[in-house]
Structure 1
Amino acid sequence: MNKIFIIGLPRTGTTSISVALLDYGFNVAHTAYTKRAFELADVISDSPCFCDYPQLDELFPGSKFVYLERDLSLWVPSMQMLINKMLANLDLKSGIFNPVLKRTFNAIFEFSSTLVPDDKEHLEKCYLQHKQGVLTYFENRDDLICIDVSKPSSLSELLTFIGISTEANLDFPHLNVGRKVACWKEHKHPNKVNSNAAGIEQRKFFDY
């Protein structure tokens, strides 16, 4: 069962791309923490995809992957804001967030090995390290596209990549701008998939 995985880091436009694809008939999960959520969704973005793309590649052969780029001068302050909002709840032992979310954030942003998690140089290193990992993994493959959702016609570029004929010059909606972090929750659409959807194994995640 092939999927579309959005593997850009948080604050690179994962909400914008998720909302945009709802209107093209896709069932979309912005974050997915159960097997059932992955079964129900055609498109999955954010956590755990930005961290677990190699495992998801094996689980869902034939899928397409979308890496989201963003200028570091814009991404770093946005990510600093998000980390300061979420950090206490991302603690692997005491944090109240979903275990998958905590694991993936800690893996990419290395909270346990840095004294200042929102340090500019640290975040830049994490961003570039993640980007290089993605590019190396997908080298010489044709199932990855890299886009910047702020660029003109970027939505048209994505739709062409996933096989949808469309007019040129379509742009993404700009959501979660500034200090906003909850636009996905506020957006109402019948194609939205619950990140914690329960199936025959209740809310079990994969065993990889």
Structure 2
Amino acid sequence: MRPDHLRALGLTPQSPAVVFDTDAPALALGLIGASLFVDGVGGMIVETEAYMRDDPASHSFRGPTIRNAAMFGPPGHAYVYRSYGLHWCLNIVAADGGAVLLRALAPLEGLDVMALRRGKGLLCAGPGRLAQALGIDMSHNGLDMRRSPFCWGDRSELPDFVQGTRIGISKARDRPWRFGLRRSPHLSRPFPTS
């Protein structure tokens, strides 16, 4: 996506390399409100989950394997894996073997392409839907997310976010490392209200 196209959407082009080199919870929060495009298709990130190296729910917990090798590489690279043998999931590598799972985004650009990939219904609410809508597969694993086919738009202001425990896991479920854009209709699942 060209910088002038991002400006037309009201976004500031950026390369968030500095933000990637931090721990996973800080990166997960920092990504809320930023926009991600893959070959011009994408939108604003509205939900993330963080996973740290010492986290029993993390793929990096037991050390490097062929499957999780990208998690032990440089921050800012993609870690892609298949969940339950069905859905690709896109993660952004953080510092020290951590990663951030992109759980949902608000579609902004390439909606027709997303609809062709996804069919009717929710386009990017949930990590599997998000990856399918963006055309993510194993060929993206290990790629530097600061380079093509990825393109970023900076958030225009500090978002009003919510924080809660992670979902869809069986270990370390109490860690409050799920972040979302408050009142977004594009979340994979609502956050509990207090």
Same fold flag (TM > 0.5): no
Give the TM bin, normalised by the shorter chain. under 0.3
Which structure carries more strand by proportion?
Answer: 2
Q: Which has the higher contact order (CA 8 A, sep 6+)?
A: 1
Q: TM-score, normalised by structure 1?
A: 0.27
Which structure carries more helix by proportion?
Answer: 1
Q: TM-score, normalised by structure 2?
A: 0.28
